[in-house]
Structure 1
């Protein structure tokens, strides 16, 4: 695996991630790591004809999660090279198939894309967690969910007591379902883990979201889906999430 770190910054997390990744997998194309100045830059992978690009902030590259972030992005690159359905299926096609005849809020369309990204992440992390330990990832999921449910107002709102943070409670519930599903899929938690309590709070704040259904859907995604089956999973998940939206007027 050809790895090239571009720009001043730490290199050891990427080399360590490469060593773990290469115990069971390899990439045909070289990986260029671009270290970004913006501390808010999300870690993400780009794919081109002659290379993959891992974009990451210097702050993230210096964090305790740097190796795990790199390993996760290497896994996405592997799925892309495998032409795995989760990494080739057009989300625009899914939205068209699932939402024809419906009027859907812009925020919910963004949430549908996030649900599709969660499904991609499930398949990437099937690789990530086959080559590396899951303790840091589990701690990251717990910390992220704890942040999302920590900001509770002192008094009920007109719609009832808000139990999760100022972030949209509906997608927070889906995010909680994803975190718990990933942990259960890879046996990272026991029944007393704090993640269950946090997920329960998130689910209570979004009673219109099928929390258990999304958790089951994420957890039980077929290990080796075909394109048609995976497209249908995405369509079903999208319809499940926006099921309450009204039909568009003619």
Structure 2
């Protein structure tokens, strides 16, 4: 793997992640890492027609305890893209059009639908990440993110959408999307048998579900957990359309 780190911040987390990633996988395209003082997202991955990937990370994240794990997660997104995996080739806009045509949807909920699509991409990226990295930091990240969301619930989530491929579980503490975030966290953990039934994530998920009883937690957890490893593109599109429609309507 060719990884080149530019900008302010340390190179070591990205190179360490590369070395760990290469024990099981490889990327055909080179990776340009840009460490920035204040990007729009903590992490952002892009793929370009001249056959290279770009990973943008904030300096704060690059110096944090999760830096290597964040880089591994983004390398996994890059590999899914190179594999032409349906989760990373399916247009989110197309799926939302199919799911929501003829329906009136709040702008807030539309932004959440983009986040749900990103969760589905993250499931497939983390299937790779968890092949090469211990799960402890990821589980702690999911737990702390949900705890923070439950402790701080603004009246309305900000407008906008989560960028494809970014690692950001709870960009807004809206109770309805927090239920979906909790379902994603537990689905990922159950999919890889990372936690026991007495783990605090289950208590957090129950609290989230009680705050937004109109959102069917079990439906979303099953949808995320049961995603097929290697779906047909049409099957993946249907799964994305179904889960989007479930939330928006």
Structure 1 residue 39: Cα displacement? 7.0
Structure 2 residues not aligned, in runs of 5+: 155-171
2:34 corresponds to:
34
Alignment partner of 2:218 out of 187, 195, 212:
212
Q: Distance in 1 between matches of 2:74 and 2:39?
A: 18
Residues 1:101 and 1:40: Cα distance change in structure 2 (over 3 Å): closer
Q: Distance in 2 between matches of 1:7 and 1:44?
A: 15
1:248 corresponds to:
none
Map Cα deviations across residues 72-110 of structure 1 (whole Å, 9 max, x no partner).
Answer: 000000000001000010111111111111111111111
1:142 corresponds to:
143
Q: Distance in 2 between matches of 1:100 and 1:232?
A: 15
2:78 corresponds to:
77
Alignment partner of 1:231 out of 211, 224, 237:
237
TM-score by length of structure 2 reads 0.90
1:240 corresponds to:
246
Q: Contact conserved, 1:39 with 1:59, CA < 8 A, in 2?
A: no
Larger radius of gyration: 1
Q: Distance in 2 between matches of 1:112 and 1:210?
A: 15
Q: Contact conserved, 2:152 with 2:173, CA < 8 A, in 1?
A: no
Map Cα deviations across residues 29-83 of structure 1 (whole Å, 9 max, x no partner).
Answer: 1001101011764201111123101100111001000000000000000000001
Residues 1:202 and 1:224: Cα distance change in structure 2 (over 3 Å): same
1:14 corresponds to:
14
Q: Distance in 2 between matches of 1:39 and 1:85?
A: 28
Q: Contact conserved, 2:34 with 2:55, CA < 8 A, in 1?
A: yes
Structure 1 residue 167: Cα displacement? 2.2
Q: Distance in 2 between matches of 1:215 and 1:98?
A: 19
1:179 corresponds to:
185
Q: Distance in 1 between matches of 2:209 and 2:6?
A: 42
Structure 1 residue 151: Cα displacement? 3.8
- Report the aligned-residue RMSD: 1.4
1:4 and 2:4 equivalent? yes
Q: Distance in 1 between matches of 2:181 and 2:243?
A: 13
Structure 1 residue 8: Cα displacement? 3.2
Structure 1 residue 112: Cα displacement? 0.8
Q: Distance in 1 between matches of 2:103 and 2:41?
A: 34
Stretch of structure 1 that moved more, 197-206 or 44-53: 44-53
